[in-house]
Amino acid sequence: MSPISLSKADISVVEEQFVLDALRSGWIAPLGPHVDAFEAEIAERTGVRAALALSSGTAALHLGLLEVGARAGAVVLVPTMTFAASAYAVVYTGATPIFVDADPSDGNVSPELLVGAIDTLRAEGVRPAAAMTVDLFGRCADYDAISGPLAERGVALIEDAAEALGAACGPGAAGSFGRVAALSFNGNKIMTTSGGGMLLSDDVELIQRCRYLSSQARQPLPFYEHHEIGYNYRLSNVLAALGRAQLTRLDAMMARRRAIRERYVHGLGDIPAISFLGPGPGPGPGRGPDRRTDNCWLTCLTLDPALAPINADKLIAGLADAGIEARHLWKPMHLQPVFANARAFVTGAAQRLFDRGVALPSGSALDDADIDVVIEAVRTALGS
């Protein structure tokens, strides 16, 4: 049996045609017509006024943070349940990340804890430069509970939507919340450009400023002149062509991942030790109707230690022995050695999710037979 990957890129003849067009056009690097078109198409898809194609989602976060005032001496609130790049981008600006714990129902940042942390800092005389959200595993943070309180307190919202293109909160698409937002097109995301990202904003001037910085801050002169430090952050025309092809197939790929999640729920939902992270639309925990829709990037389960005969470590190891790639959920940033001295507002929710959570193979290129193999392996490992 071939190995079953967690989230392998889903590539078809459509991608081949777009990339071949880019190669034949002569626009190989660094920019070209596919870059311009990709930016316009992503902006339209997410409902924002402007987009900037970049080499990574981390680059997008870095530039966006710089433009909202993150710098040495400033602090930025960051969810502790996230990939390290979210926090690294803050450090790149010279600012200090302060971590905030998760809502245990889906792993996204707790709105109550985030707002409470801001109020605590303000009472101490510290005004955060920004607060970051991370749309975790393809599900938007609860912007109905976050956007208003942050606006009232004058704190810029940075949306790390790296995992969530195609998801939504009410009428707003992932990538459309806050002052700026970042997307990632890394190889395992819902759609890919191999490596790449996008900065999004309704502030056209901000995007233009970041466009200048991302191109080495080169002045518009017939020779190379630079008045400030810039970055080599632009996306190539060839990779943008790949992204445009993927974007034409995004809805179909999301539908396939949603069908995979439903197959997992049907195949594993009867096991008392298992819960699935991030339920579908339904009542939110004490905040009225939950208007969020999920792009189903990854299907993640959690194990109840009182009911499961093995822990997450052993389940992941057992699946690996069967040729199945599964992973732990993100190790919280406040538990990472590199951030050992960072301040954090925590309840233990993210640590429990890390200890108990497992991300299952979810790629849209997987077929039903692959998913059935994973289901059987999980059931066998849990003695069900």
Tokens of 216: 């080495």
Q: Give yes or no for residue 174 having a pLDDT over 50.
A: yes
Q: What is the pLDDT of residue 64?
A: 98
**SS3 state at 262:** helix
pLDDT by residue (tens digit) across 88-126?
999 999 999 999 999 999 999 999 999 999 999 999 999
Q: List every span in the chain annotated with CATH 3.40.640.10.
A: 13-248
pLDDT-above-70 percentage for the chain: 97
Q: List every span in the chain annotated with CATH 3.90.1150.10.
A: 250-381
In the block, residue with structure tokens 């208003």: 148
Closest CA to 89 of 134, 127, 153, 138: 134
How many Å separate Cα 220 from the centre of its chain? 34
Q: What is the pLDDT of residue 279?
A: 61
Average pLDDT rounded to a whole number, residues 331-335: 98
CA max distance for the chain: 70
Q: What is the pLDDT of residue 281?
A: 37
Q: What is the pLDDT of residue 194?
A: 95
Give domain 13-248's CATH number out of 2.102.10.10, 3.50.50.60, 3.40.640.10, 3.60.20.10: 3.40.640.10
Q: What is the pLDDT of residue 280?
A: 47
pLDDT by residue (tens digit) across 39-54?
999 999 999 999 999 9
Q: Give yes or no for residue 284 having a pLDDT over 90.
A: no
Q: What is the pLDDT of residue 242?
A: 98
| Beta strands, E only, the chain | 50-54, 75-79, 96-100, 130-134, 156-160, 168-169, 172-173, 180-184, 197-201, 274-276, 282-283, 289-290, 292-293, 299-303, 327-328, 344-345, 357-360
User: Contact, 61 vs 231, CB < 8 A?
Assistant: no
Question: What is the pTM for the complete model shown?
Answer: 0.95
Q: Give yes or no for residue 282 having a pLDDT over 90.
A: no
Tokens of 259: 């069908």
DSSP state of 361: P
Q: What is the pLDDT of residue 285?
A: 38
- Write down how long the chain is: 384
* DSSP per-residue letters across 107-162: SSBPHHHHHHHHHHHHHTT---SEEEEE-GGGB---HHHHHHHHHHTT-EEEEE-T
Q: How many CA atoms lie within 13 A of 383 on its CB side?
A: 7
Give domain 250-381's CATH number out of 3.30.70.2610, 3.20.20.70, 3.30.830.10, 3.90.1150.10: 3.90.1150.10
Q: What is the pLDDT of residue 278?
A: 81
pLDDT by residue (tens digit) across 204-249?
999 999 999 999 999 999 999 999 999 999 999 999 999 999 999 9
